[in-house]
Structure 1
Amino acid sequence: MTLVPTIGLVRGARAFHRGIGAFNVIHVESAEALVQAAEDAGRPVILQLSENCVRYHGSLEPIARAMLAIAESSSELVAVHLDHAEDEELARSAVDLGFGSVMFDGAALPYAENVAATRRVVAYAHRAGASVEAELGVIGGKDGAHAPGVRTDPGEAAAFSAETGVDALAVAVGSSHAMTERTASLDLGLIAAIAEAVAIPLVLHGSSGVPDETLQAAIRAGMTKINVSTHLNAAFTGAVRATLDEQPALVDSRRYVAAGRDAMAREAARLVGLLSPDLRSPDTDSLDIRTTDLPATEGSDAP
């Protein structure tokens, strides 16, 4: 069993100025592909399940239990995380199921409401040994949520993290969700300024649109958790499409889905190696990434 707390992987990567890949699960085959990628690369990975994906499957528990089982069966270190949950009850349910971390996304709320709601989620999660990621401001993309050029303010990020007690913070530094071309330009100076101001690991959402060398530069500047979804989905879908084009009479879905799974595993393994250290190498032997050390946080369980 190698299911480990998310916070251990994230803090371990941050301590050695490296990144940790956090990749979104869409279905069982993508979870299998991402765990295979971790094993092939010999490095840890974080599996993420979004609120949108929960909605697609109709409920949290079946796909969540499948993810947890796949993670537990891996020979590599794997953490399981709930991504972009705007529903406090969903975040609590993920904690109850055994997720190592949840992201509560209250970015669309007024600042004071975001702080209050995030504190409630943090209090609940910390009592169960789970960590919490939050978002300050809105990462662009999908719904055009903010105009180009909007960025996270380092001072506000420091105040928000202190007020909420979150364990990681997603910040707006130039990336955008759902990009299919890797052309995003990040504000590396701003990343460094936020990393200097905030004592917790930083998270880059929308990393699918960021070129390899820019991702590595962002990690050097202070980014830690690197979220990728669309780029890996494109690898999966491209392989499915190619297989069906080559074999138009094919009707066994296992055949073309397997091609997608293999393609996703290959590209995810490449990204894992690009972003993440081997956290069990000699220079990290003193770091116990299997445990949590989360502070008690005052707050209410009430929705």
Structure 2
Amino acid sequence: MLSNAKKILNDAKKGKYAVGQYNINNLEWAKAVLEVSQEKKAPVILGTSEGAVKYMGGFNAIVGMVEGLMKDLKITVPVVLHLDHGQSVENCKKAMDAGYKSVMFDGSELEINENVKRTQEVVNYANKHNASVEAEVGTVGGTEDGIVGGINYASLEECERITTTGITMLAASLGSVHGHYQGTPKLGFKEMSKYAKATNLPLVLHGGSGIPNDQIKKAIGCGEAKINVNTEIQEAFAKGIRKYIEEKLDQKGTGYDPRKIIGTYAYKYMKETVSEKIKLFGTANKA
């Protein structure tokens, strides 16, 4: 059974560790993340962008796939299925209607009053569906699946305003970016600590791929309880496919079988990436 994110993130905040949100793009992605999480006894969040939802067939298809995998793989750790960067109240509602137990309404490009208004509508709907809600203030830089933004630090006032809606977790933009970093990331650790204390909410770090390990650990100590990882898993997948083709395994016997193309190196590298993140975030044995 799918869980919402409230308990696992509150536990992470208190325990000074972080739960990873690993964005998925197909069955192999979901299976790899679930298997590693079960092996490591780690609670996990499966994230789906709106682009990934469209690619995989829709909200109902994804819920069915994830719940089926959990049953057949005998997954017992808490699993949260989360809509990442929901661009409209309507899409957040559709996700919850399909069975998602967690959604993000991304109103970061809106004026704060409008962001609060729409976030409140999502929260009210989520309360009827036993679902958790993430909101964002400020702007995460970079590009991810059609979401483009320049870095714009969140203010304490914005954080306090959005918190009044009853959200479960807060994505306060403090220097991270989606995709690849240009140079060394410069995160606002001082603000993280200040905002975590002022809102008393688990903070969410978007753009977790590419941030040096020491900065990740420092961010967790400052209140970041949910860390999103996408780019590094995509790179692991691409690296595995490239290696398989370069070794010309697709030309040997039935090597053209897509299960072999995806399920050999790409699958192995994705699992290794998730395993490394679970160790870094301190999530092992927290289920």
TM-score normalised by structure 2 residue count: 0.90
What are the superposed Cα offsets for residues 53-97 of structure 1, whole Å, 9 maximum, x if unpaired? 113234322123212322444133222111111122221121122
Structure 1 spans left out of the alignment, 5+ residues: 281-303
Aligned to 1:273: 279
Contact 1:122 1:132 in 2 (8 A): yes
3-state SS in 2 of match to 1:4: coil
Instruction: Flag structure 2 segments of 5+ consecutive residues without an equivalent.
Output: none
The 4+ residue runs of structure 1 with deviation greater than 3 A are 180-183
Instruction: Report the AA paired with residue 168 of structure 1.
Output: M
8 Å contact kept, 1:7–1:101: no
Contact 1:180 1:231 in 2 (8 A): no
- What do you get for the CA RMSD once the two structures are aligned? 1.8
Q: In 2 relative to 1, CA 158–122 (structure 1 residues): closer, same or farther, beyond 3 Å?
A: same
* 1:203 CA drift (Å): 0.3
Deviations 1:23-46 (A, max 9, x none): 101111100010011022221111
SS of alignment partner, residue 251 of structure 1: coil
Confirm or deny: 8 A CA contact 2:41 2:286 kept in the other structure.
Answer: no
1:203 corresponds in structure 2 to: 204
Counterpart residue number, 2:36? 37
Distance 1:105 1:179, change over 3 A: same
Q: SS where residue 141 of structure 2 aligns?
A: coil
Matched position secondary structure for 2:185 = coil
Q: CA 1:245/1:215 → structure 2, altered by over 3 Å: closer, same or farther?
A: same
Q: How many residues align?
A: 276
Once the 2 structures are TM-superposed, how far is the Cα of residue 215 of structure 1 from its aligned partner?
0.7
- Structure 2 distance, partners of 1:55, 1:87, is 15
TM superposition score normalised by structure 1:
0.85
- Cα shift at 1:197: 1.4
Q: Map 1:4-19; keep pairs closer than 5 Å.
A: 4-19=3-18
Structure with greater proportional strand content: 2
Amino acid at match of 1:152: A
Deviations 1:87-114 (A, max 9, x none): 2222112112222210011112222211
* Aligned equivalents of 1:116, 1:252: Cα separation in 2: 50
The answer to whether residue 123 in structure 2 is matched with residue 122 in structure 1 is yes
The structure with higher relative contact order (CA 8 Å, sep 6+) is 1
| Counterpart in the other structure of 1:107 | 108
Give 1:159's match in structure 2, choosing from 158, 161, 168.
161
Per-residue deviation, residues 215-269 of structure 1 (Å, max 9, x unmatched): 1110011111000001111111101111111125141111120121221011101
Distance 1:181 1:62, change over 3 A: farther
Q: Residues 120 and 88 from structure 1, CA distance in 2 versus in 1: closer, same or farther, beyond 3 angstroms?
A: same
Are the equivalent residues in 1 in contact too, given 2:101–2:129 (CA < 8 A)? no
Deviation at 1:181, TM superposition (A): 7.6
Contact 1:45 1:272 in 2 (8 A): no
Alignment identity in percent?
Answer: 32
SS at match of 1:128: coil
